[in-house]
Structure 1
Amino acid sequence: MNEGPTVLLTGTSEGIGFETARLLANLGCTVIAHARTREESDESVARLVNSGVDARRLRPAVADFTDLRQVIDLAVDVAESYPRLDVLVNNAGTAGAHGRVLTKDGHEQTIQVNYLAPYLLTRLLEDALDRSEVSRVVNVSSSLHRGGRINWNDLNWKRRYNRGAAYAQSKLALTMMTTALTEFRPKVREAVSVHPGIIATGMLPGYSYRGRPVAEGAEPVARLADPGSKVLNSGYYDGRLPAKAATAAVDPEDVRKLWSLSERLTLFDKRRL
């Protein structure tokens, strides 16, 4: 069977990630369906198959993003198992805890799950992406990134933790990474970020009391992740349409500063595959 384009999609156990996996598999992509645990991954794959997805289009994958060692293991497994990676969709995320929580790596949980883990995963998979003619990264961001700021002196919120501010900071950082990938990393040919809309998922309380159906949020993510679609490189999308990202997300000095800081925080230079 022709496996078609290979897409690693993080956070497929529910919500937008689950629906995006279904859409991409039905487009003929081989979807590496990541979830936090083996049980969640197997369960999401089973539900996708029960919904009509061809099981041959799905590959389970596991990593808990609160543990960067597991992120490394995921990258190693993907790099060794697939001749190339066409698209990486950084979708996995958390709304954050009401109180400050540190990961075993010593980072505030929201910034690690929503940004540092996707950053490290992307960096470790650069060579796998470089083997593809597509070589695209799709970062699932949020319109709330516009209200965020990088707390350079206290990235981990040792003082005055605020759940909403921590989430906005993490999504701003992810959007800044989109800019950095196209400016600093030629191995990644295309990178975009997208706000999927105000959708009825676990993230909804951060936006509103009502949200649109999950399928409507998955559609723009799947379209951008479809290797056959054209995208505005380094662009930020609000749903299907290109939009203006926050000024900080494209500020060259801040983007470069965050890139260097991220290398240090993830010990990237010591963790190359």
Structure 2
Amino acid sequence: MNIGKTVLITGANKGIGYETAKQLGDIGFTVLIGSRNEQSGREAVAKLANEGVEARLILLDVTNQSTIDSAVHQIKQEFSSLDVLINNAGVSLGGATPPSQFPLTDLKETYETNFFGLVAVTQALLPLLKKSPRGRIVNLSSGLGSLTYNSDPEHEHAQFNLLAYNSSKAAVNMLTVTLAKEFKDSPLKINSADPGFTATDLNGFTGPGSVQQAAAIVVRLATLHDDGPTGGFFDASGEVPW
């Protein structure tokens, strides 16, 4: 049922992005691997192809507008539309530096990738997503972006007092809400996904969750039926509080 459908995943050459590509490819999607590094992107495409997934490389650095423009042009020329955008690329800088001492350079660099780059990619691809009869946008967020969790001293997330990463994911959630309101009368569905504390190079592979588990909620939101939710925040267990 997904044959002919296309999905672009940013930062898809490794980690959760790569596993999401594999899972969507396994159910028939043509997967566009967004990667800022050509060699690692080609390696990911080749590995997916060996597993029977139809994959293409899209050179894409979310902090570089010229690569975003080139990606849009390539997708438009090859497919004319886009069915799913998964904003997966992200960074975590500054470590556990207290907020009062957090370097502005690290804060700005985090936002350039996690928020401004995500907005730039989304805005650029919206015309192609609107051409799809069932366009979907999934923004990779985090439970660490939940104000409810962060303000509860008893919650397990409260110990991770990370100014840049946490606030950038809260900003992503607000983008999800505002975009969903803008397109509430269209087929587009826009949601945030919390993949959980997953073992990736973002955290030095310290997370207890697997990429397979993390990708499952992303895939679920990418393949929502017409009566599915929009403007929400979800993990594997259900809705996550803002």
- Give the TM-score band, short-chain normalised: 0.7 to 0.9
In 2, the alpha carbon distance for the partners of 1:230 and 1:45 equals 33
The one-letter code sitting in structure 2 at the alignment partner of 1:180 is T
1:68 maps to: 65
The one-letter code sitting in structure 2 at the alignment partner of 1:75 is V
- Among residues 169, 172, 180, which one is paired with 1:171 in the alignment? 169
Q: Check whether the contact 2:200–2:207 (CA below 8 A) recurs between aligned residues.
A: no
- Among residues 217, 229, 234, which one is paired with 2:231 in the alignment? 234
Q: Check whether the contact 1:129–1:187 (CA below 8 A) recurs between aligned residues.
A: no
1:41 maps to: 41
Distance 1:9 1:210, change over 3 A: closer
CA shift, 1:184, in A, is 2.2
In 2, the alpha carbon distance for the partners of 1:127 and 1:212 equals 35
Q: Secondary structure at the match of 2:239?
A: strand
Stretches of structure 1 lacking an aligned partner (at least 5 in a row): 149-162, 246-273
2:153 maps to: none
Please give the residue correspondences for 1:181-220 in structure 2 after superposition, counting only pairs within 5 Å: 181-185=179-183, 189-204=188-203, 209-220=206-217
Stretches of structure 2 lacking an aligned partner (at least 5 in a row): 96-101, 149-160
CA shift, 1:112, in A, is 1.0
Q: Check whether the contact 1:5–1:227 (CA below 8 A) recurs between aligned residues.
A: no
1:160 maps to: none
RMSD: 2.6
In 2, the alpha carbon distance for the partners of 1:65 and 1:223 equals 24
In 1, the alpha carbon distance for the partners of 2:7 and 2:215 equals 15
CA-to-aligned-CA distance 1:141-184 (integer Å, 9 cap, x gap): 00111249xxxxxxxxxxxxxx9211111111111111111112
Distance 1:228 1:111, change over 3 A: same
- Among residues 80, 85, 90, which one is paired with 1:83 in the alignment? 80
Distance 1:111 1:196, change over 3 A: same
The one-letter code sitting in structure 2 at the alignment partner of 1:171 is K
Q: Secondary structure at the match of 2:90?
A: coil
Q: Secondary structure at the match of 1:180?
A: helix
TM (norm. structure 2) is: 0.82
TM (norm. structure 1) is: 0.73
Q: Secondary structure at the match of 1:211?
A: coil
CA shift, 1:62, in A, is 1.0
The count of corresponding residues between Structure 1 and Structure 2 is: 222
1:109 maps to: 109
CA shift, 1:44, in A, is 0.9
Distance 1:65 1:127, change over 3 A: closer
